[in-house]
Structure 1
């Protein structure tokens, strides 16, 4: 735990307080820092943050550059807060920049979503009731950056999670930015404009398929040109229209599109129904001999309306 907040006269905002060197983000009752940490530690090969002593250390990729922060929880009898403390010389001087850091962390932890309706629905659902009790307070840990979310979706196609993390590390360490701070190295995910000018040959050292290289390069070019943005997807009008915008892009099918809409765009009804992990989790919970068919999944998920993304996320959690 940090010793105390650094500014005796904090500036209050909706959902958080600005103490200059530290930001205090008020967590909803249905929030467990511990459960979210467990999720974040699912791979020892994660390269974009470190977890030590129940604290998360990472570089936040923001519009003004990057902030190096440590994130931890502080609990009081009637309050739970997530504390974001700036490290080294990375304190943003302008209040608007600290507000951007606060917004990023709240989005990453999905702290703005009211889970009460989800828990009410899930507590009566045979597939979800045990999961929501076991992992109560788990949030759909997001990927706020659209390019990172799309790349992660593409890299993870048709391979296991362990190798997907290996590919991500290679990609980040080859083309991302390394930032030293207080004896540690922090990595920032490559920007679309950093990748758009590259060729398949430039990506050959990652040892992924030529097609995946082509897909990543194509997405990078679309984003660097402004043809594909988070804002355009959010303004699409509906989940289906946003999904159609994404699957029109070479290399992005319904699974990748819904994964991105779920983890980055926070669309609650995004549903990667073709996900193998989802199928395995349902098979496990229901004690089935075979994986469920898509039609069986549709029947089992009938009551999940507008909570498909959270239902999927909690079922994934059963698998590790």
Structure 2
């Protein structure tokens, strides 16, 4: 197999929370599409229609980034690889501004200071984020991971390294609804996934924007018109696909549980209560949600 390899290096902030990034990508124990070991992450992606392996090797003060593409003529500039890595690692997220703004907040400040440097891991493409959000609607994380694994294997795009690659919209659009039903998608989710894939292929839905600042509001409004996609799916997609930090994730069960722990409430938090509380933290609502996710994870480990 002829491959093309390109690489770059990035400096990391001294407070960079590497374990947050690695933990996000190690959730599937079978590691069919992502492999994490020591301070390395290997992830199978599709680049310009061809299988590729993205390798991130974390050093004491930086990261070495390498992309190996199973196509000798694939075009890739170092700036493109660097931009991808910066986005995925959350290095363009203004964490210092957030922490300075809310570090003294009476309810949230202590948590922010305890979890200083927290950044939101972003997926390799907005389509991966959207399809993952659709997969995870109203089911457990474990069930969603199982469906995701079978979905990746069903499409069957494998890099020469052995890793399967998360499919792009062009490959998913060729599937039949029965293909998706066989790997565990409900009828409605399968139809929604096919719809968004076909819309991307036809150009009716544009998720990959070349400009530095994608038109978040335009994307949000367009996604909300698609049957099977609601506010939680949109805001989660914008967070994991673009690193947009102001989507309200009040519909997320783990966010509500985190808020209950933070506020020391005996009764569970309702969606409307959570929405109203998060409104106080715009334009950081999704980043606040990420801090609550981590709080829930820490509480689970201590239990």
Given the two structures, how large is their TM-score scaled by the length of structure 1?
Answer: 0.81
Deviation string 1:236-281 (CA, Å, 9 cap, x unpaired) is 8553x43221110011011101111111122222122211111111
- Give the unaligned 5+ runs of structure 1: 1-19
Aligned CA distance change for structure 1 residues 218 and 55 (closer, same or farther; 3 Å) = same
Q: Choose from 126, 129, 144 the match for 2:109.
A: 129
Q: Choose from 14, 18, 38 the match for 1:33.
A: 18
Report whether the alignment pairs 1:220 with 2:197: yes
Report whether the alignment pairs 1:273 with 2:258: no
Is residue 230–residue 265 contact of structure 1 (8 Å, CA) maintained in 2? no
Report whether the alignment pairs 1:155 with 2:135: yes
Displacement of 1:93 in angstroms is: 8.8
Aligned CA distance change for structure 1 residues 207 and 91 (closer, same or farther; 3 Å) = closer
Displacement of 1:161 in angstroms is: 0.2
Q: What RMSD over aligned residues (CA atoms) do the two structures have, in Å?
A: 2.8
Between the aligned partners of 1:258 and 1:233, the Cα distance in structure 2 is 21
Between the aligned partners of 1:23 and 1:90, the Cα distance in structure 2 is 18
Q: Quick check: which has more Rg, 1 or 2?
A: 1
Aligned CA distance change for structure 1 residues 280 and 223 (closer, same or farther; 3 Å) = same
Is residue 22–residue 84 contact of structure 1 (8 Å, CA) maintained in 2? yes
Q: Which has the higher strand share?
A: 1
Report whether the alignment pairs 1:187 with 2:164: yes
Compare 157-166 and 303-312 and name the one that shifted more.
303-312
Equivalent in the alignment of 1:143? 123
Aligned CA distance change for structure 1 residues 203 and 64 (closer, same or farther; 3 Å) = closer
Equivalent in the alignment of 1:83? 64
Displacement of 1:172 in angstroms is: 0.3
Is residue 36–residue 138 contact of structure 1 (8 Å, CA) maintained in 2? no
Is residue 45–residue 166 contact of structure 1 (8 Å, CA) maintained in 2? no
Is residue 58–residue 64 contact of structure 2 (8 Å, CA) maintained in 1? yes
Is residue 27–residue 145 contact of structure 2 (8 Å, CA) maintained in 1? no
